Structure 1
């Protein structure tokens, strides 16, 4: 019993600790005070040299395999790590607590991206069940943390909603084409930081590169995602 209580408490300090068998209340995700500073601290701890930085970013995108449902968990883990590489507080509520979205990014103190990853789908439209899941995840955030605004996001091979589905207001879709655009931008971001020793540990340089590649919280999903369209 004492061990399980300790495990439940540890979630507040380490979101990668396994869930207690008794469950645990979801920990509210808090945005970094400064995105570029959070990205700098993460990169400086993770990478010793520019080669490992570039290879690390490349590996993230290789984990996302479209049309392969067996790789869905890999894609979700990669998306979570991508957020950290860019300075976003990032978590996987459904994985951690058995409830909530596949992924949550704190874009700012006021807004969080509620993301459902459907990279394993092969349908030409977004199914009603997937749309309902996204809507449910938005409600989860609204109930769990009503102080922030939810930005609904789906990573899906299609931006077209099924005729039977009710679209989630304000949702954005990351399609394979936009994912490829994002991959190129993040690879360029990493290459620029890796071009000289320790550039990725310099907050001003990281800030400039995040802005240049439109990877900031206010521009990311307007650049690398698009609105859903009816069928």
Structure 2
């Protein structure tokens, strides 16, 4: 946040980022916006697939080495009925990459950002995966906007870590909030 000269600049930048964090947005812009949101919230935020050509679209690391792994399907049609076998396979590959890099006991929540929560009959997930659909993404974006509005009365270069943590907690933006607040269980289709 200290890279912004004032609140107005921060506010405009965050709004532009959140505009790109929307379904229907081209994947590269969406994933870049998700990386920026992670950094804004104070997480170590990376794009392994873009940066090293291996791994998930986005990976955040929060307090106590708690990771959030994201596979983004922002360009999938809003009317699509199912998560395909191929998409489930991609997610499984990213989960395997994460385990290889961080070990099988790492604390990680895995998310697929997609417009449907129905996994096709032919597909399977090898790890616990939760789904972030448009309604939950909107709630997340609204909470981020609320968090940013809390900062208006402050000089950005003088906000304490304690104050930021208080506002992150108030708006359910701590790493442990994501699974419960912004995602849901998938439904595995039967024949």
The answer, yes or no, to whether TM exceeds 0.5 is yes
**Residue 111 of structure 1 pairs with residue 98 of structure 2:** no
**How many Å apart are 1:76 and its aligned residue?**
0.4
1:124: which partner in 2?
Answer: 81
Q: CA RMSD in A?
A: 1.7
2:46: which partner in 1?
Answer: 91
Contact 2:114 2:131 in 1 (8 A): yes
**Residue 226 of structure 1 pairs with residue 181 of structure 2:** no
Deviations 1:61-97 (CA, angstroms, capped at 9, x unpaired)? 11134235xx100000000110000011010111111
**How many Å apart are 1:197 and its aligned residue?**
3.0
1: CA distance between counterparts of 2:28 and 2:73? 10
Contact 1:101 1:115 in 2 (8 A): yes
SS in 1 for 2:11: helix
SS in 2 for 1:219: helix
**Residue 57 of structure 1 pairs with residue 14 of structure 2:** yes
2:95: which partner in 1?
Answer: 138
1: CA distance between counterparts of 2:180 and 2:88? 20
**How many Å apart are 1:108 and its aligned residue?**
3.4
2: CA distance between counterparts of 1:213 and 1:83? 15
2:140: which partner in 1?
Answer: 182
1:166: which partner in 2?
Answer: 124
2: CA distance between counterparts of 1:200 and 1:55? 20
TM-score normalised per structure 2: 0.90
Q: Which runs of 5+ in 2 are unaligned?
A: none
**Residue 48 of structure 1 pairs with residue 9 of structure 2:** no
TM-score normalised per structure 1: 0.75
2: CA distance between counterparts of 1:198 and 1:154? 33
Contact 1:153 1:172 in 2 (8 A): yes
Question: Residues 178 and 168 from structure 1, CA distance in 2 versus in 1: closer, same or farther, beyond 3 angstroms?
Answer: farther
1:81: which partner in 2?
Answer: 36
Contact 2:42 2:62 in 1 (8 A): no
1: CA distance between counterparts of 2:107 and 2:163? 29
2: CA distance between counterparts of 1:230 and 1:202? 45
Contact 1:115 1:153 in 2 (8 A): yes
Runs of 4+ in 1 over 6 A off after TM superposition: none
**How many Å apart are 1:57 and its aligned residue?**
1.2
